[in-house]
Structure 1
């Protein structure tokens, strides 16, 4: 059986072949038939696995809480790409940007200089990317805050990082169980145990 058929495609399907030097951030909008939530990391396309219930509920919890708590000068986005540079366009699970960064209804990405917080909910296939690759890239692009969220007995645990502008790397600011209460990038208070409640 062919790999194409394994993915529900016919045998004549042509898989995207990267150009010399890899794909660019602009290519992500032009390539046909990409699966939803395709990211660009180091010029390579990264496809995500199906979402788990924990992943979906945690994203919804963070998205809703940040949406309701963010001051007017910020906008909250869910699963929206950010151009870090020409070879990197990841899609954080939740992010916060300065209001006005979105220039219209057909915009497909934000620029890194507009983003103040990137949050990643770790999946089984994204552990290395979310713990090592993405934080390094987000910090290098100057994104001031990074949250990595992992599951523990079905509840989210949030690892909070803040950018040290001198070293362009993240400094750990705390590990939060049950409740996430912060003063930056704006006052945030999230009941993490609410991840299981129907909303």
Structure 2
């Protein structure tokens, strides 16, 4: 018995895809990213991933100054061959120009946040932070599940202007309190997560 596929996978160009391709190829799955010219498809979200994003977006929006906007899962163009989609981004307000905007430039992003999932662990620990740093995004947070009560732990990084790499500035377990990119104070305890 022969099985036919109802859809056809796109065939990559010899030199890989570009960001222009990411936005013009038809029928790509939602939240497709471009890393080093390759399309990256994401797995369905787990509850921890989704609720942690909600917790951070709500917390950041509650204290964000008028000069910035907090966005969830929007593509950030890092360079011609990289269009990553941080789970949460803080962008300059002037970059939010119209309701149908579908990407931001790295120069407009002050913070990129990745909530680690089993399928994204290698990218979230390695490739993406390096690419965010190279693109000049000043702040990066890496969020993982920890402890027996399975609540988030947030590692906060700041871009070192000399090395052009991220330096760890704090590890937050029950409360995320930092002064950058603006004053932030978010309850990230297991109880706060369970309340969502």
Q: TM-score, normalised by structure 1?
A: 0.93
**Stretch of structure 1 that moved more, 78-87 or 14-23:** 14-23
Q: Quick one: which of 86, 90, 93 aligns to 1:92?
A: 86
Q: Is the 8 A contact 1:139 1:163 kept in 2?
A: yes
CA distance in 2, matches of 1:103, 1:183: 27
What do the CA deviations read for 1:37-69 (whole angstroms, capped 9, x no partner)? 000000000001110000000000001111111
RMSD value over aligned CA atoms? 1.4
* Counterpart among 117, 125, 136 of residue 111 in structure 2: 117
1:69 corresponds in structure 2 to 63
Segments of 5+ residues of structure 2 without an aligned counterpart are none
Q: Does 1:159 align with 2:155?
A: yes
Q: Unmatched 5+ residue regions in structure 1?
A: none
- 1:53 maps to which of 44, 47, 50: 47
Q: Distance in 1 between matches of 2:5 and 2:140?
A: 42
> In the alignment, what sits opposite 2:167?
171
Instruction: State the alpha-carbon separation in 2 of the partners of residues 78 and 32 from structure 1.
Output: 23
Question: Equivalents in 2 of 1:170, 1:57: separation in Å?
Answer: 26
- Given candidates 30, 34, 37, the residue that maps to 1:40 is 34
Q: Report how far residue 12 of structure 1 moved.
A: 4.9
Question: In the alignment, which residue of structure 1 is the partner of 2:193?
Answer: 195
Cα drift, residue 102 of structure 1: 1.8
Cα distance in 2 between the residues matched to 1:52 and 1:88: 25
> Partner of 2:177 in structure 1?
181
User: Which residues in structure 2 correspond to 1:93-108 (within 5 Å)?
Assistant: 93-108=87-102
